[in-house]
Chain A
Amino acid sequence: MTLLSVKGLAVSLGGRSVLQDVSLTVDKGEVVGLIGPNGAGKTTLMRAILGLVPHQGRSSLAQLSPRARGRAAAWMPQTREIAWPVSVETLVALGRTPHLAPGQRASAEDRAAVDRALKRMGLQEFRHRIATALSGGEQARVLMARALAQDAPLLMADEPIAGLDPAHQISTMRTFASLAAEGQAVIVSLHDLGLGVRHCTRLIVLDQGRIVADGAPTSVLTPALLRDTFGISAWFETTPQGAVFQPLEVLE
């Protein structure tokens, strides 16, 4: 089932074209890794898909009403902002916002969703801690739990594993995989190609505002693409422990 379809999406910021003619669809069960060098337009693409920036073209999500969109897709921005010293539980419960009618109080179902999200991110013990007093990595997980509590079929996360320790990077990617296995889909922007290769079902490579490759990790990360788009060489093998990708050199 298609959760997102984007056709001919283009964005100009300040007269400069930052995204051109992007088309893609995402089906349930997919973990889509969005990769590309700095400034390729990954964040802009995700925000345009959600309708958070003015754009041309069509995005099935951007056409929804704000609340319907909130129920269809959860969005984790790259900036990890927690403005007030609220408890972890309170923060995660904010994910239920699109499910509540104006003035409606949180129901048992909402509380259950919060509990599930906390459990999934291993945050049960943190429930009553003050979110702003946590470490950066812990905050990242709390914000992740918030996005999970939104219970949307599609999760879009902008560099969610940046700044996490290796164990939490891997477990976060595993969480995405398990969500996909349950019938949801994930779009995640990444810089760590190795984790992308191991945990994504599909990679979309963005360069200078255009999609230059879209497909299974093994078919996308060819030496030519790595050279042209990222300017690197890499060691990439399928081993008994799964696919292993290791960047090697910067190419002149």
Chain B
Amino acid sequence: MRLYVILLILMGTLFGVALMIGPAGIAPLDSLRALIFGGDGPMTLVMREIRLPRALLALMIGAALGMSGAAMQGYLRNPLADPGLIGVSGSAALGAVIAIQTGIAATTTLALPVSALVGALVGVVLVLMLAGPRGGSLTLILAGIAISALAGALTSLVLNLSPNPFAANDIVFWMMGSLADRSMTHVWLVLPLIVVGLGMLALMRRGLDALTLGEDAAQAMGINLAQLRLLLVLGTACVVGASTAVAGAIGFIGLVVPHMLRGWVGARPGRLLWASALGGAVMLLAADIAVRVILPMRDLKLGVVTALVGAPLFLHLIYRTRRGL
């Protein structure tokens, strides 16, 4: 309980900071006043149409990636699982890019996130098929490398084939992720999918706890494994698909956050779900503040910051689990 309070306070604080930080250099109090009370000036526009959606998206997408990482790790019983690392985000990006380049995305608003969702779905199903139910570290990482590489290559191919001269530059965005200049439209676009996805993942709580004892024991205790797998697949596809559609593939949040919080929840994979959602929101808000503090005038990609934190941890985890490899 104390953990949730700490995380909520942290999240609220960072949300406030995220609203007050930006290249326009508006005084913090003025910015909050403009946000809450509005007004005619450009400041209201900046606060309500640029900074607020950015902070909201960081919060939502961070929560989505954090919880999906915790759910995958719990299901596969492997601390190396992360939607970004094992190619689910990459597949979602491919889905989004295909939707944009084929023009489907322009036909209806929902086409973009749904297409990314389908991409994520394919990615997560492939990973589960290749890695097997127990998710051995070696097969999981190899499957992840293969799927990431394939999705990345196809994404680059689609973007290079595009008649749009800027499409090829977008490769960096789709691979590294960014929240720059998103709008409230994007918030409304992803909110339902993320809420539904988080709901599905949260339902896995008891099943994941029981899986600590292995599939056989969990099943014998009344856990429906097929249903659990379906929740994981659909829930992950919803949250990762929606997140990637608007922010690109942001890696490592689903890896770092559950790892850091595991000790706080007594290593229980079920309890780790909501804790990781809050932790993910905290981490992505912090990362998005960092990119704006480090290079305020340029769009430094989020993946740069999350990888700087996450990659050393990933190496450490591989080192620790190398006996399992």
Contacts and interface: CB of A to CB of B under 8 A. Distances in A.
Assess A/B contact in the complex (Cβ within 8 A).
Answer: yes
Interface of A: 47, 50, 52, 65-71, 73-77, 79, 81-87, 90-91, 94-95, 97-98, 100, 102, 130, 143, 146, 150
Contacts of B213: 81-83, 91, 94, 143, 146
| Interface footprint category on B | 20 to 34
A83 B220 contact: no
Contacts of A67: 222
Interface of B: 77, 206, 209-214, 216-217, 219-224, 262, 266-269
A82 B218 CA distance: 12
B77 A83 contact: yes
Contact of A90 (B223, B224, B262, B268): B268
Contacts of A50: 220
Contacts of A143: 213
Contacts of A47: 216
Contacts of A74: 220
Nearest to B272: A84
28 contacts: A65-B222, A66-B223, A66-B224, A67-B222, A68-B222, A70-B221, A70-B222, A71-B222, A75-B216, A75-B217, A79-B214, A79-B216, A81-B214, A81-B217, A82-B212, A83-B211, A84-B77, A84-B212, A84-B267, A86-B212, A86-B266, A87-B266, A90-B268, A94-B209, A94-B213, A97-B222, A98-B222, A146-B217
A75 B221 CA distance: 8
Contacts of B206: 97, 100, 102
Nearest to A50: B220
Given A84-B267, A85-B267, A102-B206, A94 B220 contact: no
B214 A75 contact: no
Contact of B212 (A69, A73, A94): A94
A151 B212 CA distance: 19
A233 B217 CA distance: 36
B149 to A, nearest CB: 28
B140 to A, nearest CB: 14
B40 to A, nearest CB: 48
Given A84-B212, A85-B267, A97 B77 contact: no
Contacts of A85: 262, 267
A165 B209 CA distance: 29
A51 to B, nearest CB: 9
B233 to A, nearest CB: 20
Contacts of A130: 267
B216 A83 contact: no
Given A97-B206, A100-B206, A102-B206, A83 B212 contact: yes
Nearest to A81: B214
Nearest to B77: A83
Nearest to A74: B220
A71 B221 CA distance: 8
A130 B224 CA distance: 27
A81 B136 CA distance: 14
A252 B288 CA distance: 74
A92 B214 CA distance: 14
A84 B77 CA distance: 8
Given A76-B217, A91-B212, A69 B262 contact: no
Of the candidates B209, B212, B221, B268, the one having the most CB atoms from chain A within 10 angstroms of its own CB is B221
Nearest to A147: B217
Contacts of A90: 266-268
A52 B212 contact: no
A149 to B, nearest CB: 11
Contacts of A65: 222
Nearest to A156: B220
Contacts of B268: 84, 86, 90
B221 A98 contact: yes
Contact of A77 (B211, B214, B223, B267): B214
